[in-house]
């Protein structure tokens, strides 16, 4: 008797038809792919949101971290300029490393 009830319910329209997650165990590869894409989109949005809040020049980022980053950058640039002026590295290496430090 319960099998007849289940088979009758499968033909009824579901509110989950447009949702990327299926409402049961089965499903085709498109539904599975949509599930993974939707989950990746949500996680990516969370990462971007946290990056904006706490990343470089973020709203809630600790100002001490910004100061330390600037000090480290200026120290690395001065060491790089000293190596270049002493002739230990070429101009091409100097420009490439300087560009990497400044980013």
Confidence of residue 6 (pLDDT cuts 50, 70, 90): low
Q: What percent of the chain has pLDDT over 90?
A: 44
3-state secondary structure the chain: CHHHHHHHHCCCCCCCCCCCCCCCCCCCHHHHHHHHHHHHHHHHHHHHHHHHHHCCCCCCCCHHHHHHHHHHHHHHHHHHHHHHHHCCCCHHHHHHHHHHHHC
Is the pLDDT higher at 6 or at 1? 6
Q: What is the largest CA-CA distance in the chain?
A: 90
Is the pTM here over 0.85, yes or no?
no
- Pick the range with the lowest mean pLDDT from 28-32, 34-38, 72-76: 28-32
Q: How far apart are alpha carbons 68 and 74 in whole angstroms? A: 10
């Amino acid at each position: 008797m319960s099998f007849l009830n289940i088979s009758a319910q499968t033909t009824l329209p579901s509110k989950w038809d447009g949702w990327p997650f299926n409402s049961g165990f089965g499903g085709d590869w498109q539904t599975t792919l949509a599930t993974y894409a939707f989950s990746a989109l949500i996680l990516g949005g969370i990462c971007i949101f946290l990056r904006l809040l706490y990343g470089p020049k973020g709203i809630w980022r600790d100002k001490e971290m910004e100061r330390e980053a600037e000090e480290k950058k200026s120290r690395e640039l001065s060491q790089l300029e000293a190596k270049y002026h002493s002739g230990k590295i070429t101009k091409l290496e100097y420009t490439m490393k300087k560009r990497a430090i400044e980013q």
